[in-house]
Amino acid sequence: NKNGSIIEACNINNFKDKKCQTRKCAVNEDCFSGLCQESCCITNPDNILYDCYRDS
């Protein structure tokens, strides 16, 4: 990825349910999580990142 690693990532279940998407990736190395699936960065259970969100 010419713009650096894609930091955002989707939980696999949310991705499958079409509730989440990221900037398009082409290969695993494009994603900070190390997992690119169907052009979307997916959270990696072997490299856990914490999801932070604001509940309003």
> Which pLDDT tens digit goes with each residue over 12-40?
999 999 999 999 999 999 999 999 999 99
Which pLDDT does position 46 carry in this prediction? 86
User: To which residue do tokens 């960065």 refer?
Assistant: 41
Q: Which of 14, 17, 21 is nearest to 40 (CA)?
A: 21
Confidence of residue 47 (pLDDT cuts 50, 70, 90): confident
Rounded Cα–Cα distance for residues 7 and 11 (Å):
13
Is a pLDDT exceeding 80 seen at residue 43?
Answer: yes
Q: Can you tell me the mean pLDDT for 40-49? A: 86
Amino acid occupying residue 49: L
